[in-house]
Chains A and B, each alone.
Chain A
């Protein structure tokens, strides 16, 4: 669905490098969620924003992770420095304002060597 666009789709990096994942919302959205998916822990909520303000970041694993939403249609999730255990698929998702239905982007598959 073109409502939530993530980049990059795949990223391979070395331990210690900075990683920035991006999420763009097309229209009709008012909140944004970042999830991390692994086989072991399933879909973990990392942080969510409402009206560009972080509401709950209790899921952010540690200080190496940070997220920003500078405007209503764009967000970044940054990991610095990255570690192999950060390898996962990171999803951005946003509900349509009219229905509340949560749409997922296609995900960013991160591999940290």
Chain B
């Protein structure tokens, strides 16, 4: 089955700096890669996603890149703000809507 790894497990950055979180997956058939943000005590919520026919996608300060050959994808957050502090999860899915497998998560702390 699919296995998703995620690094780093914790990340601290100064406000205004950039943050990068990286994930790898094992099943080359996976074709949908969402990223979720989970604030303390709340449910995970989708912040951005990318499908396998696209190499990069951007939404304001957030961007995701995908390298299908290497089977890895990354989340980039620019101009970080304290409200970006949360746990971020990557996931891989086959034929989106099937068998979402999540990475272990990255705890991001943005220091004022």
Chain A residues in contact with chain B, CB under 8 A? 30-31, 33, 35, 42-43, 45, 48, 50, 55-56, 58, 91, 93, 95, 97, 99-107
Contact = CB atoms under 8 A, between A and B. Distances in A.
Interface of B: 1, 32, 34, 42-46, 49, 89, 91, 93, 96-105
Contact of A106 (B43, B101, B105): B43
Interface of B is mostly: strand
Given A42-B105, A101-B46, A106-B43, A93 B100 contact: yes
B99 A48 contact: yes
Interface of A is mostly: strand
Contact of A97 (B45, B49, B97): B97
A97 B103 CA distance: 23
B105 A43 contact: yes
Contacts of A48: 98-100
A97 to B, nearest CB: 7
Highest count of chain A CB atoms <10 Å: which of B32, B45, B96, B97: B97
A100 B97 CA distance: 5
